[in-house]
Chain A
Amino acid sequence: MGKRAKSSRKGKKAWRANISTEDIEDFFEKSTKDALSGGNLSAAPSDDLFHVDKSHDVPVKRKIEKHREKVLRCDSVLKKNPFVQVVSSSKPKSKISEKKKKTNVVESKSSKQPQKNVDDGSVMMDLWGDDYNNGENENNPRKIWKMTSTIPAVEVDPAGCSYNPTAESHEDMLAEAVAQEMQKVYKTELGPEPVPLTIDGDANIEDEAGLLSVCNRIINGKSAYFLGVDNGSEGEEEADAENESPEAGNKLARTTKRVTRVVLNKRSRQKALRKMETKEKLKEKMSKEIDCLPKILKEIAKEDKEKQNKLIRRKVAKEEVLKIRPPRLGKHKFEAPPVQVLLTEEMTGSLRKLKACCTLARDRFKSLEKRGILVPSKNIRR
């Protein structure tokens, strides 16, 4: 030990002085101690040093098992009969575990299947079976909005549209078809005339007046009654203007009479009186109303009921309408397809000679429009 010298010394003496022999001395000390006490502890096996005391406590796990092994009396009674199987007490637990095992198997299988399906669409599976699980859709399916339309997807034609109908029902159907056609005809007849593309007027329209007259003629021809209404209102206005002008002249000429104090007083008195009267009348009315309060209440109830009825009626009417025609979904209205019915001379009674409908695609398309699935449109292809 000792202090370290600042500068190194040369020679063996100096070296010897610097080296510490502490560890060597420690070792010797320890070994002698061990030798005296009877052996090194760290080298000895742990069994020699410790021992487990098993005399008192039962292991926890075994305790539970023992509890389970205890057979209920009812079970033991059953057990004596070899043909009766014992109902195990821990059934639900085992079931769950079995299910888990099964589902694990299924999952491992099904996880392979979809990959296959991606490759080719020909592989089918039971969509509504138990093993088809798609995960997130199962748990939280969106409530899909069902169609409000009550029109069935496939409307069966009435009896008159049969290929060999009874004469009566056929006539009925025919009448309907005719009515449909006639409605179209009337619509075109009663509607406004289309604006002519060319005008066969006089060849020598040069001056402005002539042109104007032609224009007028066109307009008049097109919407005569509109113009008629316009003319009438104009005439009235003119008359009004004439009436007003003399009055204005009178006003200017009239000299205002001076209002005297007396007149003013009278007016104010009358005003106060009137005010009083109305107040009293109001009071009287109020007291009367208070008297017949139950009546008023009844009236209100009645009104409410009427309103309710009206609402219901309107709702029902709307539903009725929806049964025959779809809601207005776009620019164009839905137009019903023509009724498919045989003409009287086409009725042969033979299925072979039947002149059948060959535009079923249109029928489908119209049905889609009628149910409000598609937006009705005009002239899809020109």
Chain B
Amino acid sequence: MPKHYRPAGKKKEGNAARYMTRSQALKSLQVNLNLFRRLCIVKGIFPREPKKKVKGNHHTYYHVKDISFLQHEPLLEKFREIKTYQKKVQKAKAKKNEELARLLLTRQPTYKLDRLIRERYPTFIDALRDLDDCLTMVHLFAVLPASDRENLEVKRVHNCRRLSHEWQAYISRTHALRKVFVSVKGIYYQAELEGQKITWLTPHAIQQVFTNDVDFGVLLTFLEFYETLLAFTNFKLYHSLNVKYPPILDSRLEALAADLYALSRYIDASSRGMTVEAKVDASSSSQSNDRAESELRLAQLQHQLPSSEPGALMHLVADKEVEEDEETRACKSLFKDLKFFLSREVPRESLLFVLPAFGGTVSWEGEGAPFKEDDESITHHIIDKPSAGHMYLSREYVQPQWIYDCVNARVILPTEKYLVGRIPPPHLSPFVDNEAEGYVPDYAETIKRLQAAARNDVLPLPGVGKEDLEDPQNLLYAGVMSRAEEAEAAKTKKKMAELEKQYHEELKKEVTGSAVDDVAAAPVVEGGDGEESSVPDAAQIAQDTADMPTLMMSRKKRKLYDAMKIGQKKKSESVERIKQRKKNLKADQ
């Protein structure tokens, strides 16, 4: 009897019963490959790797339950319907019945994904947790060129653009941005929303290309799902701010590609208005906001702020609600009194997002900007040219990296190093934990010192004192930082003491060769017995005492210990290597 003989009629068991290949799945679902792929992406069903691949290593396997889950999806029926409908259209076209074809196309059946989003993300937190990929994809497609070949329509690109701006506007409004890192690939952002850390990557302001090794059909399907997800997320977030969701934007600003600015203004205006509306139910008397253009006012007439006392109060309450924790407050007040002006050549999109998120006011060169370049109150002019043409003395001309570094360090760094025409200091990644890595770059240490100094400064200033004194935590923190140097001194002292102690111990060891026990007890584990102690040679004893703990260990423990040692050595070696390299580099220069 062959090894794998299974009598007829007996059911399959194990992996053979639990998994099916992709082609089997296609057959059982009665769909084509294209549709199957779309369904899988939309439903969140992924191939799996069974322990035993029954049909061979070159197949893709799906779990049987996943497939049966797909089988009961109403969307499957909908897709089939669409397919038959398209056949109708094709038929009409083939018969040269253009009129009918056109008519049919206007009544095409459509489908929606909101039920699926609800299914995959039962709670809002779940959705936030899975937003990384979504945001990155939407930000990417917002800058891709529309193309017929890839079936990427202009409408979708615009939609992506809108969604990404809405997201950014919310983040900057709530000051939830935490980290920014400019890499070669793009700009990484990290925001913290409801305790979830959301990281996303936006491309640089250059033309993105379509490459041959990417299946854009798949990416577009992902995008379709992600667009829906982000739209619903934005909806929820905007409603938490009491802002109507599909925002109505100032068409002039939109035309000038300053969507983000338009959005932030919309949020400002309507969040004020809406909070009041809840209380007063006012739709009539609207105060004319001087800054607002007339179009904007027309669009948002019902949301405007009436000039009544409870309105202002409510506004205050709303603002209190928004800022919850220490960190948000710190982020909000980083660029509080600073006014920025962006030159033409700096990455505007990114800076327009980052600066308001940390409390700064921004303007840029171009139409629709809030204030002009010759404004006297501008404190910082962001410029990325070798030299500025006309310089105002009242402001500082800095490179854009200064802003990113300030944001990551949470202090206003001195601008000398970032001035126009100089090569700025290295841009460090805020995502790297220097302590864990074991190597701290020079500039990181400088920043650390500056941070400590900034915290020290806060304390003795008499004018600011009261608020800070009331905040004991802050005070404590500042105190700790002020003691940083002191602690360092203490550490060196301790080290010296240790060395001395060791020396004394060695001396004692030499004098009394037999007293091994108390010496051996000092380093690590089980105390050694006195068998080896009969050997009179002092050097030998020292060697033995060093080996003792390892000798006494079981083999397993010893191996583990060795492995640990090797790991530590590796780490220290790598740090050493980096230091050596640095030295070499310095020597070269």
Query: B550: CB under 8 A from chain A?
Result: no
CB interface residues, A 117-138, toward B, < 8 Å: 117, 121-122, 124-129, 132, 134, 137
Please indicate the chain A residues that have their CB under 8 angstroms from the CB of B69 in the complex.
142
A365 to B213, CA, bound (A): 9
Listed stretches B110-118, B273-281, B387-395; interface member:
B110-118
A342 to B427, CA, bound (A): 13
Q: Give the size category of B's interface with A.
A: 35 or more
Query: A84: CB under 8 A from chain B?
Result: no
Q: Give the size category of A's interface with B.
A: 35 or more
B 422-449 to A, binary, CB cutoff 8 A, 1 in contact else 0 = 0110111101100000010111000000
Find out whether the CB atom of A127 lies under 8 angstroms from the CB atom of B182. no
Please indicate the chain B residues that have their CB under 8 angstroms from the CB of A164 in the complex.
182, 401, 424, 426-427
Query: A153: CB under 8 A from chain B?
Result: yes
Listed stretches A58-66, A69-77, A194-202, A322-330; interface member:
A322-330
Find out whether the CB atom of A141 lies under 8 angstroms from the CB atom of B122. yes
Find out whether the CB atom of A162 lies under 8 angstroms from the CB atom of B181. yes
A 148-176 to B, binary, CB cutoff 8 A, 1 in contact else 0 = 00001110111101111111110110000
Find out whether the CB atom of A166 lies under 8 angstroms from the CB atom of B211. no
A141 to B122, CA, bound (A): 9
Using A154-B201, A166-B428, A364-B219 as known contacts, say yes or no to A161 and B384 having CB atoms under 8 A apart.
no
Which listed residue (B200, B231, B346) contacts A351, Cβ 8 A?
B346
Query: A358: CB under 8 A from chain B?
Result: yes
A141 to B115, CA, bound (A): 12
A357 to B114, CA, bound (A): 34
Query: B124: CB under 8 A from chain A?
Result: yes
Find out whether the CB atom of A127 lies under 8 angstroms from the CB atom of B214. no
Please indicate the chain A residues that have their CB under 8 angstroms from the CB of B400 in the complex.
351
A375 to B36, CA, bound (A): 13
Which listed residue (B60, B213, B246, B431) contacts A330, Cβ 8 A?
B60
A202 to B334, CA, bound (A): 81
Please indicate the chain B residues that have their CB under 8 angstroms from the CB of A350 in the complex.
384, 399
Query: A262: CB under 8 A from chain B?
Result: no
Residues on B close to A: CB < 8 A? Answer: 41, 44-49, 57-61, 63, 66, 69, 110, 112, 114-115, 117-124, 127, 130, 132-133, 136-137, 140, 144, 181-186, 188, 199-201, 203-204, 206-216, 218-219, 222, 231-232, 235-236, 239, 245-246, 345-347, 384-385, 399-401, 423-424, 426-429, 431-432, 439, 441-443, 578, 581-582, 585
Q: What are 11 inter-chain pairs, A to B, with CB distance below 8 A?
A: A124-B246, A127-B236, A145-B66, A152-B199, A154-B132, A156-B188, A348-B423, A361-B210, A364-B136, A364-B219, A365-B215
Find out whether the CB atom of A360 lies under 8 angstroms from the CB atom of B214. no
Find out whether the CB atom of B235 lies under 8 angstroms from the CB atom of A365. no
Query: A381: CB under 8 A from chain B?
Result: yes
Find out whether the CB atom of A165 lies under 8 angstroms from the CB atom of B186. no
| Distance (whole angstroms) from the CB of B156 to the closest CB of chain A | 13
Find out whether the CB atom of A357 lies under 8 angstroms from the CB atom of B186. yes
Find out whether the CB atom of B204 lies under 8 angstroms from the CB atom of A172. no
Query: A32: CB under 8 A from chain B?
Result: no
Please indicate the chain A residues that have their CB under 8 angstroms from the CB of B442 in the complex.
166
Q: Which 4 A-B pairs have the closest CB atoms?
A: A327-B49, A356-B204, A153-B133, A159-B429
Residues on A close to B: CB < 8 A? Answer: 117, 121-122, 124-129, 132, 134, 137, 141-142, 144-145, 147, 152-154, 156-159, 161-169, 171-172, 327-331, 340-342, 348-352, 354-365, 367-368, 372-375, 377, 379-382
| Distance (whole angstroms) from the CB of A184 to the closest CB of chain B | 15
Please indicate the chain A residues that have their CB under 8 angstroms from the CB of B239 in the complex.
126
| Distance (whole angstroms) from the CB of B419 to the closest CB of chain A | 13
Find out whether the CB atom of A137 lies under 8 angstroms from the CB atom of B118. yes
Find out whether the CB atom of A360 lies under 8 angstroms from the CB atom of B181. no
Using A154-B188, A330-B58, A380-B214 as known contacts, say yes or no to A145 and B63 having CB atoms under 8 A apart.
yes
Please indicate the chain A residues that have their CB under 8 angstroms from the CB of B585 in the complex.
167-168
A183 to B61, CA, bound (A): 31
Find out whether the CB atom of A352 lies under 8 angstroms from the CB atom of B345. yes
Find out whether the CB atom of A163 lies under 8 angstroms from the CB atom of B427. yes
| Distance (whole angstroms) from the CB of A25 to the closest CB of chain B | 81
Find out whether the CB atom of A117 lies under 8 angstroms from the CB atom of B112. yes
Find out whether the CB atom of B206 lies under 8 angstroms from the CB atom of A358. yes
Find out whether the CB atom of A329 lies under 8 angstroms from the CB atom of B133. no
Which listed residue (A168, A342, A359, A367) contacts B582, Cβ 8 A?
A168
Which listed residue (B124, B140, B441) contacts A364, Cβ 8 A?
B140
The residue among B117, B210, B427 with the most chain A CB atoms within 10 A of its own CB is B427
The residue among B61, B119, B443 with the most chain A CB atoms within 10 A of its own CB is B119
Please indicate the chain A residues that have their CB under 8 angstroms from the CB of B212 in the complex.
380-382
Find out whether the CB atom of A152 lies under 8 angstroms from the CB atom of B132. yes
A164 to B429, CA, bound (A): 10
Find out whether the CB atom of B201 lies under 8 angstroms from the CB atom of A360. yes
A368 to B121, CA, bound (A): 19
Find out whether the CB atom of A340 lies under 8 angstroms from the CB atom of B246. no
Find out whether the CB atom of B49 lies under 8 angstroms from the CB atom of A329. yes
| Distance (whole angstroms) from the CB of B42 to the closest CB of chain A | 12
| Distance (whole angstroms) from the CB of B459 to the closest CB of chain A | 32
Using A156-B431, A163-B427 as known contacts, say yes or no to A351 and B182 having CB atoms under 8 A apart.
yes
